[in-house]
């Protein structure tokens, strides 16, 4: 035994060194494209559409504020210089602001331009201000309604990845600081990418530290002996380290769900450690020697823990049915982590344990008597209150189903941003003062590949634009019509009221010759080279996914009624609508994944218990916490988004563990010839304590996520913690009830 133990410890020593090496090279990632649903027809359309146009997420906006008003000469000169220098930053193709905008003017000598702001002529500022604020192209896009903020709009290169985003945003910050603006705000996918990855790194570190402290306190409370606490902590910490090392070695970067990994590994590892250590100590208390005690612990608890690890891994693997990349990655990573925790405990922990006697591992005394008394009372309660327990479970289930009916998927971006961070403040500033972040895009396609640049087609596009402007929360609407409207305004002495399409087709045809002279890079973002496709772009306030979907459906119906769709088709597309499709798939993949997990786990239960009644008994208490989790979403008004959806996989995967431990102990007692009541009492006294302890640790372990600055992580932690309490109650109350009803002597 000593030789085997030495080999195991040396092997894990080598694994530890390798894991530490790879863990230090762990990479993080965040990209909006990661959340695009796999194999979606709208995604396929979008990918084809952007072959003719640029994507709608290749931008960075910088808002600079002058609280006394932006029409001040020194400030405007700074903005103008900043705009020019911003265009030279890495990964930025061009930049623009109102200081760079000019109006075309027709003169007797031809067409010339005048600046929108006469920077060097302050006497003209008031007139410039009136013209600009009356121009729908600029108000809310490049200047705030109260004229206290200007936006410098930068077009970035396509596919700017994490390292490039960090360079870009760092350069932009340095440039903005050097100009000494009163305040500045940034918005754009590159900024999101940089800040969300920084948040992930912080979350992983903080959750690991806080969870470690919490588990240390709990272990000290349980064992009260340095060696007992040390073995538990070193086993749990080693499992986490190996997990991170394996992910890094496999080239699997940590994504938006990364903050959950330390908590998950610590919690799963703690559960396994407590079960194996509790059993080992119990056998030593019976007078067995260390070799005999560790053999029985591995044989009885090792097999049960293997099954619980497999079922937990299956619960997480059910997330592979999701169409959302980060969710699928979390599912497979978590499944890998669960099995790593099991292997660590079953080999490393048991090897260490076998070196110690019970007095070195735990302080025996009143604590043991407390747990024996509590478990005995719990057993008696289930025996004398069967009717009340049944009524309580039925009422809870019915209330839970009502709560589930109230749940929505109307999530918004602001609820996913870190609390108290600059990115959240910046996002809020743009939402309040400008058109916001979220793109809204309509693809316009001419049927039979005819040209869109006809008077009838452009007029129909204009109708749709005006309809879009009528919706509250949609701003910054733009399309190919803006070029014709600008020419019409130019031909009418640049008066604001003439920013509209010409009334006659003859004037339109005349303007068309002028539009052909517009620089290609200006026109190509609005009209395809072949002239048979166009785009209508806009920005939408952060009103929620369901509301935007409703708006899109209403617009679709309006177009079918008011526009000649025999010539043009309008298709909502863009990053926003693609990500919003997740709301549709979340429910579908959630039910599909859990259904598959339940089926597989049922088969495993049949193989383990060889009794269909025990299979039914095992499933009922594990479906109950899922109902409770869904009810909490509805009653607390929590939107079911991609992050929150993983709660169900975690709850099911972890909750089934305690059920298996409970039923495994019950079956062992029955196999030894004990009757039903004696078997239940033994199960409560020997396994009930471990189940309660692991549930307490799970509860407080996931509550650690309340320290997160990421709202979805806080929500996930709170939901899981409270739901797992319902899982514990279901195990201790429902299982004995079902056993008494379904099992026979």
Contact (Cβ atoms closer than 8 angstroms) between residue 344 and residue 242: yes
Mean of pLDDT values over 571-576: 81
pLDDT > 80? residue 111:
no
Cβ within 8 Å of residue 216, ≥6 positions away: 229, 233
CA distance 602 to 596: 10
Amino acid 401: pLDDT: 86
What pLDDT digit, counting tens, does each position of 295-345 carry?
888 888 888 788 878 888 887 887 887 777 788 888 888 889 989 999 999
List, in sequence order, every residue forming a beta bridge with 96; answer none if it has no partner: 153
Query: Model-level pTM?
Result: 0.79
What pLDDT digit, counting tens, does each position of 585-599 carry?
766 666 776 777 777
**Distance between terminal CA atoms of the chain?**
41
Amino acid 108: pLDDT: 65
CA dist list (Å): 106 to 122, 506, 522: 24, 19, 20
- Provide, rounded to the nearest whole percent, the portion of the chain with pLDDT above 90: 14
What pLDDT digit, counting tens, does each position of 456-467 carry?
888 999 999 999
Mean of pLDDT values over 558-587: 80
List, in sequence order, every residue forming a beta bridge with 418; answer none if it has no partner: none
pLDDT > 80? residue 512:
yes
CA dihedral 32, 35, 37, 39 (to 10 degrees): 70
Higher pLDDT, 184 or 619: 184
Q: Which helix (H) or strand (E) holds 539?
A: strand 533-540
Mean of pLDDT values over 38-42: 77
Contact (Cβ atoms closer than 8 angstroms) between residue 327 and residue 319: yes
CA distance 54 to 59: 11
CA dihedral 534, 443, 104, 136 (to 10 degrees): 160
Mean of pLDDT values over 93-121: 81
Closest CA to 662 of 385, 115, 275, 354: 275
Contact (Cβ atoms closer than 8 angstroms) between residue 509 and residue 517: no
Cβ within 8 Å of residue 339, ≥6 positions away: 309, 310, 313
Closest CA to 148 of 396, 517, 433: 433
Mean pLDDT of the chain: 83
Residue at token pair 């009930």? 688
Mean of pLDDT values over 707-721: 83
Structural domains of the chain, ranges and CATH numbers in brackets: 2-33+194-405+580-742 (1.20.1640.10), 58-187 (3.30.70), 425-579 (no CATH)
Helix segments in 254-322, DSSP class H: 260-285, 290-297, 303-317
Residue at token pair 């209330």? 399
CA distance 407 to 422: 31
CA dist list (Å): 361 to 112, 176, 222, 276, 282: 88, 59, 10, 13, 11
Cβ within 8 Å of residue 735, ≥6 positions away: 617, 621, 659, 662, 663
Amino acid 522: pLDDT: 67
- pLDDT category at 44 given cuts 50, 70, 90 is confident
Mean of pLDDT values over 216-241: 84
Amino acid 175: pLDDT: 93
Amino acid 74: pLDDT: 92
Amino acid 540: pLDDT: 85
CA distance 480 to 484: 7
Report CA 306 to chain centroid distance, whole Å. Answer: 30
Amino acid 624: pLDDT: 84
Find the range with the poorest average confidence among 560-569, 643-652, 710-719.
643-652
Find the range with the poorest average confidence among 433-437, 465-469, 502-506.
433-437
Please state the three-class secondary structure of 423-488 as a single string: HHHHHHHHHHHCCCCEEEEEEEEEHHHCCCCCHHHHHHHHHHHHHHHHCCCEEEEECCHHHHHHHH
- pLDDT category at 1 given cuts 50, 70, 90 is low
pLDDT > 70? residue 98:
yes
- pLDDT category at 114 given cuts 50, 70, 90 is confident
Amino acid 609: pLDDT: 72
CA distance 132 to 256: 41
Cβ within 8 Å of residue 377, ≥6 positions away: none
Mean of pLDDT values over 507-518: 81
Mean of pLDDT values over 402-424: 82
- pLDDT category at 19 given cuts 50, 70, 90 is very high
Amino acid 368: pLDDT: 63
DSSP 8-state class, residue 29: -
pLDDT > 90? residue 80:
yes
What pLDDT digit, counting tens, does each position of 629-661 carry?
888 888 888 877 767 777 777 777 777 778 887
Q: How many residues does the chain have?
A: 745
Mean of pLDDT values over 185-200: 85
Contact (Cβ atoms closer than 8 angstroms) between residue 168 and residue 92: yes
CA distance 549 to 619: 37
Amino acid 73: pLDDT: 92
- pLDDT category at 77 given cuts 50, 70, 90 is very high
Question: Which string of DSSP letters, residue by residue, matches 659-680?
Answer: HHHHHHHHHHHHHTT--HHHHH
Amino acid 256: pLDDT: 67
DSSP 8-state class, residue 570: E
Residue at token pair 């990573």? 333
Kindly state the tokens that stand for 549: 């979907």
Strand ranges for 161-204 from DSSP E? 183-187
Mean of pLDDT values over 205-213: 80
CA distance 186 to 188: 7
Closest CA to 409 of 231, 75, 634: 634
Classify residue 638 as exposed, middle or buried by CB count within 10 Å of its CB (0-12, 13-18, 19+). buried
Which strand ranges, in their side-by-side order, compose the sheet holding 474-478?
474-478, 533-540, 438-446, 568-573
Q: Which helix (H) or strand (E) holds 107?
A: strand 102-107
CA distance 163 to 107: 49
Closest CA to 349 of 287, 275, 299, 399: 275
- Bridge-based pairing of strands 102-107 and 110-115 is antiparallel
Closest CA to 657 of 289, 267, 354, 363: 267
Neighbour tally for 450: CB within 10 Å:
13
- Bridge-based pairing of strands 183-187 and 59-65 is antiparallel
pLDDT > 80? residue 511:
yes
């Amino acid at each position: 035994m000593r030789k085997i133990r030495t080999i195991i410890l040396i092997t894990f020593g080598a694994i530890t060194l390798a894991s530490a090496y790879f863990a230090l090279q762990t990479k993080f990632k965040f990209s909006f494209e990661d959340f695009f649903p796999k194999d979606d027809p709208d995604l396929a359309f979008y990918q084809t559409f952007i072959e003719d146009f640029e994507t709608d997420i290749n931008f960075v906006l910088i808002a600079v504020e002058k609280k006394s008003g932006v029409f001040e000469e020194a400030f405007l000169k700074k903005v103008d210089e900043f705009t020019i220098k911003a265009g030279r930053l890495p990964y930025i193709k061009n930049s623009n602001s109102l200081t760079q905008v000019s109006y075309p003017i027709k003169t007797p000598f031809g067409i010339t331009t005048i600046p929108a702001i006469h920077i060097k002529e302050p006497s003209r500022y008031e007139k410039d201000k009136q013209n600009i604020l009356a121009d729908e192209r600029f108000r809310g896009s490049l200047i705030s309604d109260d004229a206290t903020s200007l936006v410098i709009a930068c077009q970035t290169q396509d596919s700017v990845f994490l390292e490039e985003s960090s360079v870009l945003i760092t350069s932009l910050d340095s440039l903005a600081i050097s100009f000494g603006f009163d305040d500045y705000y940034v918005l754009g996918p590159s900024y999101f990418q940089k800040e969300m990855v920084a948040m992930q790194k912080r979350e992983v570190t903080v959750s690991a530290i806080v969870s470690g402290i919490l588990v240390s306190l709990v272990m000290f409370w349980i064992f009260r002996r340095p060696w007992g606490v040390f073995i538990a902590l070193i086993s749990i910490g080693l499992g986490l380290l190996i997990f991170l090392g394996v992910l890094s070695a496999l080239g699997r970067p940590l994504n938006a769900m990364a903050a959950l990994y330390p908590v998950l590994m610590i919690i799963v590892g703690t559960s396994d450690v407590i079960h194996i250590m509790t059993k080992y100590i119990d056998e030593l208390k019976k007078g067995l020697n260390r070799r005999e005690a560790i053999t029985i612990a591995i044989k009885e608890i090792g097999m049960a823990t293997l099954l619980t690890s497999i079922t937990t891994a299956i619960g997480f693997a059910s997330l592979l049915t999701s169409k959302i990349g980060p969710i699928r990655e979390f599912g497979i990573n978590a499944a890998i982590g669960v099995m790593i925790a099991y292997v660590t405990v079953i080999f490393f922990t048991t090897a260490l344990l076998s070196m110690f006697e019970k007095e070195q591992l735990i302080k025996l005394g009143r604590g043991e008597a407390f747990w024996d008394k509590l478990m005995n009372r719990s057993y008696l309660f289930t025996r004398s209150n069967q009717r009340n327990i049944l009524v309580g479970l039925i009422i809870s289930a019915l209330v839970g189903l009502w709560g589930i009916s109230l749940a929505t998927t109307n999530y918004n971006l602001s609820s996913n941003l870190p609390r108290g961070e600059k990115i959240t403040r910046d996002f809020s500033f743009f939402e309040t003062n400008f058109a916001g972040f979220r793109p809204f895009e309509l693809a316009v396609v001419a049927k039979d590949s005819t040209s869109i640049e006809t008077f009838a087609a452009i007029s129909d596009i204009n109708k749709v634009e005006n309809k879009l402007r009528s919706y509250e929360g949609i701003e910054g609407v733009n399309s190919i019509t803006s070029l014709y409207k600008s020419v019409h305004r130019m031909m009418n002495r640049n008066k604001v009221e003439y920013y509209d399409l010409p009334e006659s087709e003859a004037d339109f045809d005349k303007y068309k010759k002028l539009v052909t002279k517009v620089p290609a890079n200006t026109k190509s973002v609005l009209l395809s080279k072949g002239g048979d496709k166009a785009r209508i772009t806009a920005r939408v306030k952060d009103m929620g996914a369901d509301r935007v979907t409703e708006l899109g459906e209403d617009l679709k119906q309006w177009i079918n009624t008011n526009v000649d769709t025999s010539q043009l088709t309008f298709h909502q597309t863009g990053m926003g609508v693609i990500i919003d499709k997740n709301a549709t798939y979340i429910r579908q993949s959630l039910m599909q994944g859990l259904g598959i997990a339940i089926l597989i786990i049922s088969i495993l239960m049949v193989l383990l218990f060889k009794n269909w009644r025990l299979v039914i008994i095992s499933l009922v208490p594990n479906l109950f916490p899922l109902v409770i989790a869904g009810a909490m979403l509805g009653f607390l008004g929590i939107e079911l988004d991609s992050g929150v959806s993983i709660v169900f996989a975690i709850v099911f995967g972890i909750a089934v563990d305690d059920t298996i431990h409970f039923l495994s102990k019950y079956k062992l007692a029955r196999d030894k010839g004990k009757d039903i009541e004696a078997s239940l009492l033994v199960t409560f006294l020997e396994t009930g304590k471990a189940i309660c302890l692991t549930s307490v640790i799970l509860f407080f372990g996931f509550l650690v996520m309340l320290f997160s600055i990421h709202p979805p992580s806080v929500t996930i932690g709170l939901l899981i913690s409270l739901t797992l309490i319902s899982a514990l109650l279901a195990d201790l109350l429902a299982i004995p009830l079902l056993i008494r009803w379904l099992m026979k002597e």
